[in-house]
Structure 1
Amino acid sequence: MEDFWLDACVAAWRNETHPVERYLAAGGNAMRRMRDSEVATLNAKYDVEFFSPGLDLVNIALQQDSQDVLLLLLPKDAIQPQPTVTVLQMPRVPRGLRHAQGKEDVRQLWLEACLACMNSDLMPIQKYVRGGGSVSRRLLASEAKELNRNFPNCFNEGETLANLALKWDNEAVLSLVLANVSEGSDKKDSDVNSRAQEEKTQNDHKGEGRDLRQTQEECEQAGIPYIAADYNYRDNRSDAVGNHQLRRLWLQACLAAYDNTTNPITAYLEAGGERSRSLTNQDIEYLQMSGCLRVGETLVDIALRRDSSQALACVLGETFVPQKKICSRDSNYSDQLRSQPRADLDSLWLDACTGAVLGEKDKIIAYVKNGGELGRRLKAEEATLVNEEGNIVACSGSVRARETLVDIALKYQRSDIIKLLCSDVVPDCARKRLPCHQFVMEASAISKEINANLELSVGSGLTKDMPFFQLNFAIPRELQTLPHDVRTRALNEIIDCEARETLEDENEPVINWCPALLPQHKLHPLYNGGMGDCLLHSASLVLAGIEDRNMAWRASLVRVMKTFDLYSRWREFRAREAALLGYHAEDWQWKKEWSELVRIAGSPKMSLEQTHVWALAHLLRRPIIVYGIQNIRNHRNEILGHAGHQGIYIPFLLDKSECCTDPLALAYVRGHYLGLVGEEKDPLTPTTILLPITMHNGQRLPVQYLYDVERGSEASIIREWLRCRAVNGVACVEQSYNPRASRPEACQALMRRYVEDVHQRMTNPRDEEEGVGADTIVEATL
């Protein structure tokens, strides 16, 4: 049987049916998956890298477009090709001049709303909905292909706004999308779906006599896999996400199960990932956690071994329902729950969940009025209690662990509860309005200038023709003149509030820990929604207040890594790290790792690391200071390892006279890079911000990528490359902000438009607050 199975895998790869028929006739399971040993055998035998662990016969046939094998394995109605759906193109016009007039305008607003899900920008989604768009609309293949021209492999056919928001973990966007779910949306959705079905039916009649090859080519051009026309089947096989993207989510989920975090696991499961997927040697090697993770482990195995209770509840939340009477109203847990200081609120929370099941709004309002959090999630024991109170049978339709009130209301189709929970008002801390998102024309002008500077940077010195590389973005002075509450609301729109709390943690502060530097030299982490491109986005934001949306920085970063001799310093630095950890690598292994770093630098949406920070310092011709946590800890506050991202990155391979002495400041938190900026003191005069180069415990930030002979002389190197100053015994370096009038005109225009917009919005009632009903959660909270 084993030989029949291997022959069938090869046959599915080659589109040969006889070995597959022989394997099935012998009683073989068509859904059997390949093991690591089988993968190694076939790849070595045929000198390919095609086979991978977890593939079954259908997967292999789908990837190789083996039509005959698919006809043998699948029902005929599951592999009929879908005709292409032609969507007319329309010329692009400035966003401010677009209006929802006609189908083409709604389509344009729809595409912008899809892009907004990636950027956490709420304005395009609001415009789309107000223009008559349906929140349940799905991306057509041609629309996904158009969006993927600028953002490869980010959009897939059939996705809704909610799917995109979940994919990029944008809770503010998801809240806004759910806010527009109402009783009348079902009719609107059915109209949209019926029109789409009519288009498909018309195209089916037109294409009955077409040549098979022509149909296949048209499907490929439209982005529709010719052999995967059954959408339910495609969703179950996770084809819409893509193998590479799903593997990246899988690896992040494994790390989350190890560290007892839940967001990456949720993202992986929402993307269609399998809970039973197991780790391979390649996965562990890629994660560089050979001593922590084991081959063959699943997410459940990792969470159980690490005692990661939250991660375990996240993995089992949709498949595991506790047996009744394990935890009832008379159980010890119930008594303990109601005897705690917050017993009243916990009781109201359970009543609110029951109210969401039964459609009783008064219980939810009572919970919120007493200070309850809408984002609270059910524990496994609480889910059992709610199921018993609501007389719910423990089955697939019951309330489950980790569900929120919105999840419960959606499950039981309580449209009135959904409308109550998801009003049009989004919390201020969730609103993100970066200047570059609001004023696209000005941001585009800055981006063109920076891209031109990038072309000159590699191989030439810093000159007056490259003024953008000597800039630092600062929070405008005008925001400080606003009332305190208004200023706080405006700041929350451009900074990452959650990251700020982590970076300013009182137990292990990373920034703003020195009282002598506050408030004049306070640093703020700018919001950065880039997934995989966060390093380049953050550098561009602290440089000129825009994001690197056209991926020009990656190409320049690759040129730097290939042009300058970074390898020798990098290898000595990495060899020293390896020796401290007790292992040794050969020359070919170092070269292979360096080649992989260069490849990653040029691959969009691939996460960059500290080596790329050092290369970026050479590209921008200025030092970069990265602030980050010293130790990686689990949920029990145990140290798992040392975080090596923090430090000072100096462009050693350049002449100091050709470099700028003003460093860029970045933060590294939760595996994510953020830009750190100060506040402008006076628009008419230069502003100087002091950046500490020591940590809260008195240790100096390490200088990265030093030769062994340079170790011990870090202080003199810092003084040589940066302008140093001491404040109350704290060593600092200066970072200068040019007067606003001396900045490039495009930067001045962006700042001017942003300041005017903030004053206009903050001094007038917001449009989002208009029409809020008397029984909404917002009024209940007030």
Structure 2
Amino acid sequence: MTEHGLKWSCEYCTYENWPSAIKCTMCRAQRPSGAIITEEPFKSSSSNVGTIERSGGSPLICPDSSARPRVKSSFSMENGSKWSCQLCTYLNWPRAIRCTQCLSHRRTRSPTESPQSSGSGLRSIPGPIDPCEEYNDRNKLNIKGQHWTCSACTYENGAKAKKCVVCDHPTPNNLDAIELADTDEASSIINEQDRARWRGSCSGGNSQRRSPPMPKRDSEMDFQRIELAGAVGSKDELDLKKLKQIKNRMRKTDWLFLNACVGVVEGDLSAVEAYKNSGGDIARQLSADEVRLLNRPSAFDVGYTLVHLSIRFQRQDMLAILLTEVSQHAVKCIPAMVCPELTEQIRREIAASMHQRKGDFACYFLTDLVTFTLPADIEDLPPPVQEKLFDEVLDRDVQKELEEESPIINWSLELGTRLDSRLYALWNRTAGDCLLDSVLQATWGIYDKDSVLRKALHDSLHDCSHWFYSRWKEWESWYSQSFGLHFSLREEQWQEDWAFILSLASQPGASLEQTHIFVLAHILRRPIIVYGVKYYKSFRGETLGYTRFQGVYLPLLWEQSFCWKSPIALGYTRGHFSALVAMENDGYDNRGAGANLNTDDDVTVTFLPLVDSERKLLHIHFLSAQELGNEDQQEKLLREWLDCCVTEGGVLVAMQKSSRRRNHPLVTQMMEKWLDGYRQIRPCTALSDGEEDEEDEDE
């Protein structure tokens, strides 16, 4: 038997489906065993009103045939089409005065739409009421108080439903409160209008799109960008229906994930933080339905994660949040936080020591040479206090990644033990300013809170744009050819890329690139050595891309006599920079073993390797065509710009020199005050140890 005019009514959404449908086409609910099968009024049928035949020949009696009127109305023979609800786009019978799906009234017709309406634009005169439609409306009103609204997708479920039919969200515990709220007529009308308006926004109509109503904090989230993107280019009715079904299945976590994906593309850091703070899976991949909903093939693809998107759109600040897990075992207590008054004085001192060079190369530079080191007095503290201090001042995760996961720092036993040149990764803020913060931490021990260093970086790039642009363009051309990427860009494309680099320097919180490190080396007037991971990797260990940060950055545009040869060291781990500092030494006899150095007891010398763990020379960034050559030529260049020597083990190292007497007095005072807080813990620890010893003696 064919499906000519025969349908069954869904008990959840009252949508009338074909008899062969196992699930409801609208809400995907299972077909009940005693489903009501009705006959479309405009379809002619020779069968009885109350009895129809199955394909097997057995009669099926409508369960409510006695309660539901079966009067053949006058409009059943008409050829008029159904009208579409302006809010939820549900197709209603021609004579229905309001929508069966959302209970909204039929829209006002214009004079050109119906001959029964007047030219004043008033509502058209309704025709005879269909008894079937009157029964449907009355039935929805009677059972409305028995429905419960899903808190995740706002769908109205039946009272017997244990979980939401659309999103599988469990039944809320406060059903009594929901039913009590539904008895209030005013609030129920407002809620019904809000739900109907949201259904209309999801249908892809011309009305303004809104986010689905969510309780409290969820309602503050903005998903308009995602919903707008999902409707563009989907004018076909089937596509709109598919998009509506996808949206109805979305949960809160799904919306947060899509909002974070859009935030990566548009540079909205708050959206990424909201998803991560909610406990979302960072390794989650975009599905085909989610890519279809976002509807931006140029940006999103199936299988992409937030990490993939951050790398593709060069969002270093977002990579820092996604991939750098800050140790939460102890509350961070760094010197800059303990001494706010001294920290402000140091910031003013940095601003006062910043000057601009006169002449063609008008670059900003610092007049003071300051190198931050951990005080040697830390070793005098008891081991428990030392452990507490290191937990609060160091980044254990970064230290582990650079030491254990990849042998990037402290891989030489000779440097770490015999020459006391072990490097420690200081804890740093996970934000777009982490590069600037790490530079000031490695020199002055504070953050770039007032953006003094960023302003100098921006002004130097603009005032010396021609000098830095030539170096950058020449280096990028050589770099692409060295990797087999034989392509050439037009001058307009080079200018666009350079304008993007300039814009990053002027935006607080924006992630920075290798060019900015090169400029910072000129501002400090000293080399910068970056020890970092070579590849971006996912949580499963898959290689996602090449980082290109590790290497040596020399102030090549200055005269050598104008610069210092003592470098600073930075660590790079998956979108995050950290300052790598050493610990002071009180002039041990073996301090310069193997290097034949004659240094006084007050000077601390840290040996920074210029080769990796495989004994390959570190890359020197932004060399010109005349400076490029083999490793021997590059090693010669390193010896010209840094104080280099070779250890007994054959490791080429650069010497970083620091002295308490030559260090800035404000930094020394800040470190002493910070260390006093840990010295006060020592008597308590000693007292507890003494009490334990007395107890042991009594026993």
TM-score, normalised with respect to structure 2? 0.51
Residue 404 (structure 2) pairs with residue 505 (structure 1): yes
CA contact 2:366–2:525 (8 Å) conserved in 1: no
Report the CA distance between 1:742 and its aligned residue. Answer: 2.9
Q: 1:295 to 1:270 in 2, by over 3 A?
A: closer
Q: 1:636 to 1:263 in 2, by over 3 A?
A: farther
3-state secondary structure, aligned to 1:750:
helix
Residue 681 (structure 2) pairs with residue 761 (structure 1): yes
Report the CA distance between 1:236 and its aligned residue. Answer: 3.3
Map 1:231-380 to 2 at 5 A: 234-237=219-222, 249-250=260-261, 266-267=276-277, 278=291, 295-297=300-302
1:595 is matched with which residue?
499
Instruction: Give the whole-Å Cα distance in 2 for the aligned partners of 1:544 and 1:248.
Output: 39
Map 1:767-778 to 2 at 5 A: none
Q: 1:446 to 1:247 in 2, by over 3 A?
A: farther
Instruction: Looking at secondary structure, tell me which structure has more strand per residue.
Output: 2
3-state secondary structure, aligned to 1:695:
coil
Instruction: Give the whole-Å Cα distance in 2 for the aligned partners of 1:488 and 1:576.
Output: 47
Residue type of the partner of 1:690?
A: F
3-state secondary structure, aligned to 2:530:
strand
1:731 is matched with which residue?
652
Deviations 1:233-258 (A, max 9, x none): 75132699xx9x99995378799xxx
Q: 1:639 to 1:466 in 2, by over 3 A?
A: closer
Residue 637 (structure 2) pairs with residue 720 (structure 1): no
Report the CA distance between 1:612 and its aligned residue. Answer: 0.9
Residue type of the partner of 2:370?
A: L
Instruction: Give the whole-Å Cα distance in 2 for the aligned partners of 1:30 and 1:583.
Output: 53
Report the CA distance between 1:551 and its aligned residue. Answer: 1.2
Map 1:397-408 to 2 at 5 A: none
1:448 is matched with which residue?
348
Report the CA distance between 1:654 and its aligned residue. Answer: 0.9
Q: 1:632 to 1:232 in 2, by over 3 A?
A: closer
- Of 425, 430, 433, the match for 1:525: 425
Report the CA distance between 1:670 and its aligned residue. Answer: 2.1
Deviations 1:670-708 (A, max 9, x none): 210000000011397011100001000111110001122
Residue 514 (structure 2) pairs with residue 514 (structure 1): no
Map 1:404-423 to 2 at 5 A: none
Instruction: Give the whole-Å Cα distance in 1 for the aligned partners of 2:294 and 2:486.
Output: 21
Residue 578 (structure 2) pairs with residue 568 (structure 1): no
**Structure 1: tracts of 5 or more residues without a match:** 1-24, 32-227, 256-261, 286-293, 304-425, 767-782
- Of 430, 449, 471, the match for 2:370: 471
1:676 is matched with which residue?
580
1:627 is matched with which residue?
531
3-state secondary structure, aligned to 2:354:
helix
Instruction: Looking at secondary structure, tell me which structure has more helix per residue.
Output: 1
3-state secondary structure, aligned to 2:379:
helix
Instruction: Give the whole-Å Cα distance in 2 for the aligned partners of 1:718 and 1:742.
Output: 25
3-state secondary structure, aligned to 1:518:
helix
Q: 1:302 to 1:619 in 2, by over 3 A?
A: closer
Map 1:47-58 to 2 at 5 A: none
2:449 is matched with which residue?
549
2:128 is matched with which residue?
none
Instruction: Give the whole-Å Cα distance in 1 for the aligned partners of 2:332 and 2:262.
Output: 28
Residue 631 (structure 2) pairs with residue 710 (structure 1): no
3-state secondary structure, aligned to 1:710:
coil
Residue type of the partner of 1:533?
A: D
Report the CA distance between 1:583 and its aligned residue. Answer: 3.6
Instruction: Give the whole-Å Cα distance in 2 for the aligned partners of 1:30 and 1:620.
Output: 63
3-state secondary structure, aligned to 1:641:
strand
CA contact 1:249–1:268 (8 Å) conserved in 2: no
CA contact 2:609–2:652 (8 Å) conserved in 1: yes
Q: 1:246 to 1:502 in 2, by over 3 A?
A: same
Q: 1:26 to 1:282 in 2, by over 3 A?
A: closer
TM-score, normalised with respect to structure 1? 0.46
Q: 1:284 to 1:446 in 2, by over 3 A?
A: farther
3-state secondary structure, aligned to 2:428:
coil
Deviations 1:516-538 (A, max 9, x none): 10130000011001411000000
Instruction: Give the whole-Å Cα distance in 1 for the aligned partners of 2:422 and 2:531.
Output: 14
Residue 486 (structure 2) pairs with residue 577 (structure 1): no
Structure having the higher Rg? 2
Report the CA distance between 1:302 and its aligned residue. Answer: 10
Q: 1:504 to 1:630 in 2, by over 3 A?
A: same
Instruction: Give the whole-Å Cα distance in 2 for the aligned partners of 1:458 and 1:283.
Output: 49
**Residue identity (%):** 26
1:641 is matched with which residue?
545
Report the CA distance between 1:295 and its aligned residue. Answer: 3.8
Q: 1:663 to 1:457 in 2, by over 3 A?
A: farther
Map 1:55-94 to 2 at 5 A: none
Report the CA distance between 1:632 and its aligned residue. Answer: 3.0
Residue type of the partner of 1:710?
A: E
CA contact 2:382–2:682 (8 Å) conserved in 1: no
1:75 is matched with which residue?
none
CA RMSD of aligned residues (A): 4.2
**Structure 2: tracts of 5 or more residues without a match:** 1-82, 90-212, 229-255, 267-271, 309-325, 588-600, 687-699
CA contact 2:285–2:302 (8 Å) conserved in 1: no
